[in-house]
Amino acid sequence: MENKAFEISEAELEVIKVLWKTDKPMTAQEVCDTVVNKEWKYTTASTLLSRLVEKGAVAYDKKGKSYLYYPIIKKEDYKQSQTKNLVSKLYDGSVKNLAVSLFKAGEMSPDDIEEIKKMFHL
Amino acid sequence: MENKAFEISEAELEVIKVLWKTDKPMTAQEVCDTVVNKEWKYTTASTLLSRLVEKGAVAYDKKGKSYLYYPIIKKEDYKQSQTKNLVSKLYDGSVKNLAVSLFKAGEMSPDDIEEIKKMFHL
DNA sequence: AAGTTTCTACTACATGTGTAGTATTTAAAT
DNA sequence: ATTTAAATACTACACATGTAGTAGAAACTT
pLDDT digits (tens, 9 = 90+) for B42-53: 999 999 999 999
A94-111 pLDDT, tens digit per residue, is: 999 999 999 888 889 999
Segment B63-115, tens digit of pLDDT: 998 999 999 999 999 999 999 999 999 999 999 999 999 988 888 999 988 88
**Which residues sit opposite B59 in a β-bridge?**
B70
**pLDDT score of B122:** 58
* Rounded CA separation A14/B49 (Å): 31
**DSSP strands (E only) in chain B:** 58-63, 66-71
Residues 6+ apart with CB under 8 A from A109: B95, B96
**What's the longest Cα–Cα distance across chain B?**
56
Contacting A with CB below 8 Å, chain B residues are: 13, 76, 78-80, 82-84, 86-87, 89-91, 94-96, 98-103, 105, 107-109, 111-113, 115-117, 119-120, 122
With beta carbons under 8 A apart, name residues in chain B contacting A109.
95-96
- Give CA–CA dist B18/B111, Å, rounded: 27
Q: Give the model confidence (pLDDT) of A63-96 as tens digits.
A: 999 999 999 999 999 999 999 999 999 999 999 9
All residues of chain B having their beta carbon less than 8 Å from the beta carbon of residue A116 are 96, 99, 116, 120
Report residues 37-96 of A contacting strand D, contact meaning Cβ closer than 7 Å.
Answer: 42-43, 46-47, 50, 65-67
> Which residues share a beta bridge with B70?
B59
Considering only residues 3-42 of chain B, list those whose CB is below 7 Å from strand C.
27-29, 42
- Residue A38 Cβ under 7 A from any strand C atom: yes
Q: Which nucleotide is nearest to B41 (CA to C1')?
A: D20
By residue count, chain B amounts to 122
| pLDDT, position A119 | 84
Q: Would you place residue B2 in the very low, low, confident or very high pLDDT band (cuts 50, 70, 90)?
A: very low
- A2 CB contact with strand C at below 7 Å: no
Tell if B70 CB is < 7 Å from nucleic strand D.
Answer: no
pLDDT in the model for residue B59: 98
Inform me whether the pLDDT recorded for A1 exceeds 60: no
Contacts of A12 in chain B (CB under 8 A): none
